[in-house]
Amino acid sequence: MTRTTRWLLSAAALLPSITAFVPATTPPALKLYVFDCGLMQVRNDSTFHPHNPPGVHRTLSDDCFLVVHPKGTLIWDTGLPESTPDGTLLANNFELHIPHKLSQQLREIGYDPTTITYIALSHFHSDHAGNVALFPKATLLVQRPEYAAAFGPTPQKFGFDPATYASLKSNPVKQLDGDYDVFGDGSVVIKRAPGHTPGHQMLFVRLPKTGNVLLSGDLAHFTDNWTNQRVPLYNFDSAQSVASMRAAAQFLKDNHAVLWIQHDHDQFVTLKHSPLYYE
Ligand SMILES: [Zn+2]
């Protein structure tokens, strides 16, 4: 597609008088940006992989995404807090590095975080909820059990740190009871996938040129765990985690979709990063 055609398609999507002449089957002018929202050097990989002997190291990426749709924008996960000092050690196991700030990556492509329409987190752990305060006006799309766990009496029981996401209490919120078609045309769909946390979710995106993509959240942390359906020791519900992985595998097959595993550093380095984008 030429630059001019692309411009015409996105312009057509914005102008009601022109969209009236566009057939209903025309795919929306979607863009998907991939951001580097941090790097975690894991000192003891057995946390994720009970089969590994203690002391095995692993590098995890921490990806965030922006979906741009004619009807609005959606930030999917917000990464580690961008103010984290380089080399901070979390839980005596995760060494954190955030070389690129999410706010800066958004600014580079012309997006002011306060104008983003929707915010959705795969779950409320601090490596996904780290920068939610950048998006005070976005409507939070969250599974009902996740919201209850995060703002209930015992958030620590689920591995949540309420200080990370306290600001979300003031965002407009839509609590979900399962899958949710964000823009109403099937192109961007939140998929319920509990297990890692009570209301863990994934994001399915139908990209006209790239194909169908499923963003994993922490359904699995890297390809080996995904392929072998291994569950980290600290997941909220192990049986639910396996059931969600099986359902996701079937969903991928049925929809000819690929899984982007958000913490898989080997996969991350093969993706196009912002300011480039998928369409
Ligand atoms: Zn994570």
How far does residue 125's CA lie from ligand 1's centre (Å)? 7
Give residue 13 CA to ligand 1 midpoint distance, Å: 35
45-55: per-residue pLDDT in tens?
888 877 777 77
Q: Higher-confidence residue: 109 or 1?
A: 109
Contact 253, 266 (CB under 8 A): no
Which residues are bridge partners to 73 per DSSP?
68
Cα separation, 38 vs 206, whole angstroms = 26
Is pLDDT at 243 greater than 70 in this prediction? Answer: yes
Q: Which two tokens stand for residue 110?
A: 């012309």
**d(Cα 106, Cα 103) in Å, to the nearest integer?**
5
Query: Helix %, strand %, coil % for the chain, to 5?
Result: 30, 25, 45
Using only C-alpha atoms, what is the Rg of the chain? 18
Ligand 1 centroid distance, CA of 76 (Å): 13
- The Cβ of residue 254 has, within 10 Å, a number of other Cβ atoms equal to 8
Instruction: Report the alpha-carbon distance of residue 32 to residue 35 in Å, rounded.
Output: 10
- Give, in order, the Cα–Cα distances in Å from 264 to each of 37, 49, 271: 13, 14, 11
What is the model's pLDDT at position 27? 64
Largest CA distance in the chain: 63
Q: Decide: 23 and 9 in contact? Cβ < 8 Å.
A: no
Query: What is the distance in A from the centroid of ligand 1 to the CA of 187?
Result: 25
Distance in Å, CA 196 to ligand 1 centroid: 9
The helices-and-strands tally (H runs, E runs) of the chain is 8, 13
Ion ligand 1: residues, Cβ under 5 Å: 127, 218
What is residue 26's predicted lDDT score, i.e. its pLDDT?
Answer: 62
Q: How far is the CA of 92 from the centre of ligand 1 (A)?
A: 16
Q: Which of 212, 197, 203, 169 is nearest to 74 (CA)?
A: 203
Q: What is the whole-number distance in angstroms between the Cα of residue 217 and the centre of ligand 1?
A: 7
**Spacing, Cα 128 to ligand 1 middle (Å):** 6
CA angle 22, 24, 27 (to 5 degrees): 85
- Rounded Cα distance between 121 and 201, Å, is 8
Reduced to 3 states (helix: H, G, I; strand: E, B; else coil), residue 36 is strand
Given a cut of 50, whether residue 16 has pLDDT beyond it is: no
Distance 109 CA to ligand 1 centre (A): 25
Rounded to the nearest whole angstrom, what is the distance from the C-alpha of residue 111 to the centroid of ligand 1?
25
196 has pLDDT over 80: yes
Higher pLDDT, 5 or 238: 238
What spacing in Å lies between the alpha carbon of 181 and ligand 1's midpoint?
24
Supply 201's token pair.
Answer: 């979710």
Q: For 71-130, how does the pLDDT look when each residue is reduced to its tens digit (9 = 90+)?
A: 999 999 999 999 999 999 988 899 999 999 999 999 999 999 999 999 999 999 999 999
Q: Residue 263 Cα, ligand 1 centroid: separation in angstroms?
A: 7
Cα atoms found within 13 Å of the Cα of residue 171, Cβ hemisphere only: 26
Task: Give pLDDT tens digits for 139-151.
Answer: 999 999 999 999 9
Structure tokens at 42: 């894991």
Q: How far is the CA of 26 from the centre of ligand 1 (A)?
A: 35
Task: Give, for 4, the enclosing helix (H) or strand (E).
Answer: helix 3-14
- CA–centroid distance, 203 to ligand 1, in Å, is 15
Is residue 73 within 8 Å of 66, Cβ to Cβ? yes
